[in-house]
Amino acid sequence: MFSGLSAFPLTPMRGDAPDSHRFIRLVERLADAGVQSIGALGSTGNYAYLTLEERLRMTRIAVDHAAGVPVMVSVGAVRTRDVLMLAEGAQRAGVRALLLAPVSYQPLTEDEVFGLYQTVAHHCDVPLCIYDNAATTHFTFTDALYQRLAQLPAVCSIKLPGSPLAAPAGRERVEKLRALLPSRIKLGVSGDMFAQAGLRAGCDVWYSVVGGLYPRLALRLLRGAREDGQQDADFLSDLEPLWTLFRGHGSLRVVAALAVFSGLLDEPPLPAPLKMLPAQEQQQIRALLPVLEAWEAA
């Protein structure tokens, strides 16, 4: 579950509701490409915008159409009660891991966040991945909290923010975490622009947004960064404009536009108040589309 490419698909929308038909196509596309796992209903999958019922329904669809590829699903919510309900439903649906971010409204204390993970760990039978993403949760994990959480036997991975994994400090950061945490805890890099650096620094898994739309492209990046140590320079430089767009506008809005422009989706999967990017950025994304599709098909 916690190695290689973990691909995070969009959750397509039709009007106000998730579009099951299109979601099945995205999940099948990932399974066909041979990703190591699927991270359904992550931030990229709009989990925070769907009702609990919609989330459980899409979870069942992901598991049923993943052709045996392990599925992890995000169960974050501002209330522990809702997290537990989602965790129970997701396990019944057959997920192989739960991804949990400390989603907040009132800023949370370290003790409250520990209590959340402790409660969920106590109630779940599948591995738990800590989702550290201060950009959406506004909670900052300390290494001391990582250590405390790693004592919960259910906790098996951390989805790390990518920036501290960038070269040249990345390797040192990974080594520090390895020294602090039991070997059971698999380290995952997120923030696709940091994937190459994070994987080279020794991360076990890449939690990937671009891999949710272009799994073959992402697998190429993974292989180049890790297995053979070789990376095509043209390939890397072709990805630079994508990372620039991710940095400027958030990966969700960019991947949503790519999915629409490529014809994979009819509508941008951006529940209001989220909006499509302005015309100028849309043009940049359209220009990038053939380049990405060529690498996906290569």
Q: Of 189, 192, 209, 190, which is closest to residue 201 (Cα–Cα)?
A: 189
How many chain residues bind a copy of itself (CB under 8 A)?
32
Among 107, 168, 229, 263, binds a copy of itself (CB under 8 A): 107
Under rule CB under 8 A, residue 78 binds a copy of itself: yes
Which of 22-28's residues contact partners 24+ apart within 8 Å by CB, and which partners? 22/264, 22/265, 22/266, 23/58, 23/61, 23/62, 24/61, 24/65, 25/264, 26/212, 26/213, 26/264, 27/61, 27/62, 27/65, 27/66, 28/65, 28/67
Distinct helix (H) and strand (E) counts, the chain: 12, 10
Under rule CB under 8 A, residue 256 binds a copy of itself: no
Under rule CB under 8 A, residue 252 binds a copy of itself: yes
Shortest approach of a copy of itself to residue 181 CB, angstroms? 22
Under rule CB under 8 A, residue 21 binds a copy of itself: no
3-state secondary structure of 130: strand
Under rule CB under 8 A, residue 248 binds a copy of itself: no
Under rule CB under 8 A, residue 95 binds a copy of itself: no
Q: Check: CB of residue 208 under 8 Å from CB of residue 242.
A: no
* Per-residue binding letters, 129-168, with a copy of itself (x by CB under 8 A): ------xx-x------------------------------
Residues found near a copy of itself in the complex (CB under 8 A): 16, 43, 48-49, 78-81, 102-103, 105-109, 111-113, 115-116, 119, 135-136, 138, 250, 252, 271-275, 278
Annotated binding site for pyruvate: 44
